[in-house]
Chains A and B, each alone.
Chain A
Amino acid sequence: EAQVTQNPRYLITVTGKKLTVTCSQNMNHEYMSWYRQDPGLGLRQIYYSMNVEVTDKGDVPEGYKVSRKEKRNFPLILESPSPNQTSLYFCASSLSRAEQPQHFGDGTRLSIL
């Protein structure tokens, strides 16, 4: 089954404790992206990757890092989480062509205390 898998689905942690949210897709997609969803703001892009070792900032990259060492994986790293990063996070992937719809994971709800 074609899917984007995120882990963990839920996490409560404390300020400053490094965490990683993993994302894996099994569709051989070149393009992957991270979004955060906040009430009243829709989804905002954090980082994206057009292929292995090719990453770039989205609209709200501050406080986040990513890496793309393999085509299937695109982890999101919070080196020193802060309460304003409490949010619902989605990983998405697609073929590289712009007209292709994106496939989303089920989301990771992060609470930073």
Chain B
Amino acid sequence: AQSVAQPEDQVNVAEGNPLTVKCTYSVSGNPYLFWYVQYPNRGLQFLLKYITGDNLVKGSYGFEAEFNKSQTSFHLKKPSALVSDSALYFCAVRDPNTGGNNRLAFGKGNQVVVIP
């Protein structure tokens, strides 16, 4: 079964400082990994994904994530956080070998608070 762990409930960071949101995963095969962001009263918005290739992937709004197979991690990073980055962040994994259901297994989410 596929699963995701986001160990921290909330991440506090000062504006302008680097932001890291942690994610580890468990799947039986090679994973498809995604990060989504959720702003208040809105649905989830896609940020970036790792399917194959370069372990460092770049996404929307200056975010990037690094895939580490040996540590089964896919941490989200941003070099310089903005107050507008304050939101709920979800990591998700898809095992490509589980048939036609494009089901994503989500972590519980991390609330990011960027302090001015």
A positions within 8 Å CB-CB of B: 4, 31, 33, 35, 40-45, 48, 50, 56, 58-59, 90, 92, 94, 96-107
Encode B15-50 as 1/0 by CB contact (under 8 A) with A. Answer: 000000000000000001010100001111110010
Q: What's the Cα separation between A4 and B43 when bound, in Å? A: 10
**Contacting pair B103 A99 (CB below 8 A):** no
B positions within 8 Å CB-CB of A: 4, 32, 34, 36, 41-46, 49, 51, 90, 94, 96, 100-104, 106-109
Q: What's the Cα separation between A59 and B101 when bound, in Å? A: 12
**Contacting pair B43 A90 (CB below 8 A):** yes
**Contacting pair A42 B102 (CB below 8 A):** no
Q: In whole Å, how far is A95's beta carbon from the nearest beta carbon of chain B?
A: 9
Q: List 18 A-B contacts (CB under 8 A).
A: A31-B102, A33-B103, A41-B108, A45-B103, A48-B102, A50-B100, A50-B101, A56-B101, A58-B103, A59-B103, A94-B102, A99-B96, A102-B44, A104-B44, A105-B43, A106-B43, A107-B41, A107-B43
**Contacting pair B100 A96 (CB below 8 A):** yes
Q: What's the Cα separation between A44 and B36 when bound, in Å? A: 15
